[in-house]
Amino acid sequence: MSGHGRALHAARAQAEAGGSGSSSATLDLGRVVAAHGRHVMVETPEGRRVMCHTRGKKSELVVGDLVHWQASGDEGVIERMEPRRNLLHRQDEWRSKSFAANLDQLLVLVAGEPMFSESQLTRALIAARAADIPAWIGLNKTDLPAAAGARERLAPYVAMGVPVIELALKAEPAASLARLQPLLHGRTTLVLGPSGTGKSTLVNLLVPEAEAQVGEISQALNTGRHTTTSTRWYWLNTGLKTGLNTAVPGGVGSDAAAGEGVDMARGALIDSPGFQQFGLRQVEPMQLAALMPDYAAALGSCRFHNCTHLHEPGCGVRAAAERGEISAPRQRIYAELFEELSRTNW
């Protein structure tokens, strides 16, 4: 289903054939599984991990990138990157921050405690749409009373067709896993969301050997709320010891016997640090409506072709809003974003 295994093999075959550059036959192919400044951890198709550095001052590589590298002692040097299938990033006023590349989907994990910001959720969903990456929402901590408010806040997203699944990753791990596995199986999923919603809890549940630290550790050490400080790649279907992964349809056993098929059927999870800001400067203000499903559904009947849907007479989008088809918070977020993206820095 997912293309990442295929992509890696195809790119390797191409590299071996010398098909994409004269020196590429001497280079190894790998996938970036962690990135930190100039250093990136690269995993070979055989599963070996090699610390590599880039030649430039700063690396633009992100987790999920496929790279060609050359051994240099115990380490490696990155020579070049395969073209990206997609890239999820945020663009704040002064800096761009890439999350990960070559994704099959985005899971935005939210919770009622701490109550998620609808603006941040919308921004993440818009960034995913702009990058052509399917997204869905996981509502975690449904065991807490605050889940009711969060569920209400998510109702418009369900109505506009964004899949929402309910989870209690800590309180009901087995039930949560059963819901997650069909969605994660065989795909590369980036898990994004505010701090403290359970992203690392999710990774630890699905990848028991992940050692992704969970909030309690940092609370115990009193080192602050942000547990996860860098983005990391974790293979799925490696946690057979727990017995929890055996429900995966199409089975891990058959994959193991299929040789190359291992890569294909193995999904991956990418854990990321919680974010505070989510700039969308990569999006043109006039593009916004098309990237918001409830707005997009109402497009096409405005009197003016260059309608901003903010104040023009004969606006079909605002007519839809008046009929209750677009929620008040979404209208507020749209207006706020439109203004933010129209602002110039100088």
Ligand X SMILES: Nc1nc2c(ncn2[C@@H]2O[C@H](COP(=O)(O)OP(=O)(O)OP(=O)(O)O)[C@@H](O)[C@H]2O)c(=O)[nH]1
Cα–Cα dist 11/17, whole Å: 10
Residue 183: φ, ψ to 5°: -80, -30
* CB closer to ligand X out of 213 and 287: 213
Output the six-digit token pair for 252. Answer: 């891990």
- If you search the block for the tokens 């916004």, which residue do you land on? 288
Report which DSSP code applies to 226: -
54: which 2 tokens?
A: 């880039």
Q: Please tell me whether residue 228 binds Mg ion under the rule CB under 5 A.
A: yes
- The residue within the footprint of Zn ion, chosen from 302, 326, 333, 337 (CB under 5 A), is 302
CB of 203 to ligand X, least distance (A): 8
* 322 contact choice in Mg ion, Zn ion, ligand X, none (CB below 5 to 8 Å, kind-dependent): none
- Any contact of residue 102 with Mg ion (CB under 5 A)? no
Of the pair 197, 237, the CB lying nearest ligand X is at 197
Determine the Cα–Cα distance for residues 19 and 257; give it in Å rounded to an integer: 30
Are 135 and 108 spatial neighbours (Cβ–Cβ below 8 Å)? yes
Cβ proximity to ligand X: between 278 and 295 the closer is 278
CA 89 to CA 184: how far, in whole Å? 21
> Which stretch of DSSP H or E encloses residue 298?
helix 293-298
CA angle 95, 188, 90 (to 5 degrees): 15
110 binds Zn ion, rule: CB under 5 A = no
3-state secondary structure of 283: coil
Binding residues (CB under 6 A) for ligand X: these are 140-141, 143-144, 168-171, 193, 195-201, 214-216, 225-228, 273-274
> Using CB under 5 A, which residues numbered 304 to 343 contact Zn ion?
307, 309, 315, 317
What is the x/- site pattern for Zn ion, positions 177-216, by CB under 5 A?
A: ----------------------------------------
Find tokens 């992964």 and name the residue: 245
Least distance from C-beta 86 to ligand X, angstroms? 23
Q: What are phi and psi of 75, to 5 degrees?
A: -110, -165
Residue with tokens 């930190």: 36
Q: How far is the CB of 227 from Mg ion (least distance, A)?
A: 4
**Contact partner, 186, from ligand X, Mg ion, Zn ion, none, Cβ < 5-8 Å per class:** none
For Zn ion, which is the closer residue by CB, 4 or 309? Answer: 309
Residues that bind Zn ion (CB under 5 A): 302, 307, 309, 315, 317
Residues in the site for Mg ion, rule: CB under 5 A? 199-200, 227-228
